Chain A
């Protein structure tokens, strides 16, 4: 019985680690939200598919109408999905190789031009 328990537990634990590995580039804050069991995006597949449209819609509302809510704001994306370098405590740019944005965009072969103007790391006081 105990042997079964050990096997079961080790399988369980390894599956948890595999799960984390899969989302290694999710970003500092986003992975901690995910681990805590909270749901930030109700439907991540919609975000995955539609985020350009959401961002485009949001940018026009912000710039032209002055509606500065947090929903679908690029600042929000960057502040959650940026990874931190554990050694020097600095954030990696989200558009650098292997980071959240570029990782996926490279995989699907779609270029993006948000970060030639936008800040690629969370703002200073979040450091």
Chain B
């Protein structure tokens, strides 16, 4: 077969090669990104923007279920209703004047100045450099001061012995826990599970400081608010439409 390469074939081959090259480079990049040995810095600040106008109640239920799936909470059998963990809550707020009801998903607000960190006697409650507020369960003594201090009632206490936890999310009786903003995924350049579960752009996740990120660009043009902004905690989770 002595066929010369015509123009169409040439373009086809070139397209295929470029495609493969792009995919391959993407794979290499993610492989490197997944094992970062560099500590997180305060050059980034992770945040969420929740648009309550776009977020339906089904979306919120989906977010809660995605969180349960990802982090492995919600299967406690011995705890009473008030004892059961709730990392995300569905909340309804009503404007008294217009009677407009909006539902919002309330989780740890990842404050810049978190009251839970201030009150923790063992340094277990802590904020990472990139703004994610976590509980170091190795140090947590279960005193629950942080639960009292949190203005958002975002933290839960584990009341029963657990087993078969998720590998990335150790949880145990006698420690406090809350939304981690899916820190194990964020460290791999992925998006939190609740954000992934929402199909619309009702929940945006990103770096608040990065001027090219979607969350930063959106926050600069729309009206948004922090819940209990009067406390000057500078939350990482922002809401629009309330």
Contact = CB atoms under 8 A, between A and B. Distances in A.
Interface of A: 59, 61, 63-70, 75, 93, 116-123
B138 A116 contact: no
Contact of B35 (A65, A69, A118): A69
A32 B166 CA distance: 26
Interface string B1-37: 0000000000000000000000000000000001111
A123 B167 contact: yes
Nearest to B123: A64
Interface residues of B, number: 31
Given A117-B175, A118-B165, A119-B164, A59 B36 contact: no
A109 to B, nearest CB: 22
A83 B161 CA distance: 23
B217 interface: no
Interface of B: 34-40, 126, 128-130, 134, 136-138, 161-167, 170-173, 175, 183-184, 187-188
16 contacts: A61-B39, A63-B138, A64-B128, A64-B136, A66-B36, A66-B39, A66-B130, A67-B36, A69-B35, A93-B163, A117-B137, A117-B165, A119-B164, A119-B165, A119-B170, A123-B167
Nearest to A120: B163
Nearest to B158: A117
B32 to A, nearest CB: 12
Contacts of A119: 164-167, 170
B134 A69 contact: no
Q: Which of A59, A68, A117 has the most CB of B within 10 A?
A: A117
Contacts of B39: 61, 65-67
Contacts of A61: 39
Nearest to A75: B167
